[in-house]
Amino acid sequence: MERKDSAARTIVNRATSNAQLLHMSRREVLVRGSAALLVTAVPFSVTSQTLHPSAGRSHHSGDMKMSSIMTKDGVSIFYKDWGSGQPIVFSHGWPLSSDDWDTQMMFFLSRGYRVIAHDRRGHGRSSQVAEGHDMDHYADDLLAVTEHLNLKDAIHIGHSTGGGEIARYIGRHGESRVAKAVLISSVPPLMLKTPANPGGLPKEVFDGFQSQVANDRAQFYVDLPSGPFYGYNRPGAKKSEGVVQNWWRQGMMGGVKAHYDGIVAFSQTDFTPDLKKFTVPTLVMHGDDDQVVPYADAGPLTAKIVRGAIFKTYKGFPHGMPTTEAATINADLLEFIKS
């Protein structure tokens, strides 16, 4: 009887031990499998750059890359660099990111151009630093990207604040790497109303922007694209909820301090001295129903300052016309680039 009990206990113990081994084995498989799945789910370019931060960043190989550089003052600037051929560099508007150029980047990529766009400091996926949100730093960051990628004979295209960024970039760093420039619905020469610029907007307008950003930017970033930015407040306008939500997404990705300070940068900077330094072929594009950067005090004045500039007025087009009127804008950009 004791032998039977002992044999029974041995069988039970072995079964328990096997069950524990089986359980542990399954757990190990799950852990190892999850780890393997995680590694394979992360793009190789990301894992390789994490292990070797300098890998794949100094030379362009014609693939679709998204990476970042570190500026001299320690700010990480995110950028996209896709394709090959003559480079086209896009500078986005406030408070958005390089994603705002999706339509243009896909359009020109498919036509054999190399397309580059970065997130301005404090915006998108770049560092949310507290300082340096002024046009000089924006221009220096753009220079850092162009030097890092060794861009030459580049076409620079800027929308809204991005147009100011390009103006200050040329004014501050020259045109040695620039072939052509395009300013779309851009803030130059000066948005603020001053004795020398009586057609500008009163400072109280921009103070109101800052108040809304500081106190409830989430709602402000719904109201602005839902109304004046894309002209969706005009009679008969067909509002796209996707466009509005994408604007909100980009805005909320950035830092509130950068957006707050950026309002001063784009509204109070006088770009007149920068525009006078332009010698490359330049296209100025502005919609006459722009409710964000009013037409009369922007596009026409910029075109008069820039020597030999081509000026195009778009009847009824809103501030965000690169998105809502992409087919027209892209076709005109391509014509200018090829000319």
* Positions marked active-site: 160, 290, 319
DSSP 130: S
Alpha-carbon distances of 84 from 98, 108, 224, 279, rounded to whole Å = 18, 11, 36, 26
What is the DSSP track for 23-72?
HHHHHHHHHHHHHHHHHHHS-HHHHHHHHSTTTTSSS--SSEEEEEEE-T
Alpha-carbon distances of 219 from 123, 226, 234, 307, 319, rounded to whole Å = 18, 11, 20, 41, 20
Helix (H) or strand (E) holding 80: strand 76-82
What is the rounded radius of gyration, in angstroms, for the C-alpha atoms of the chain?
A: 26
DSSP 92: P
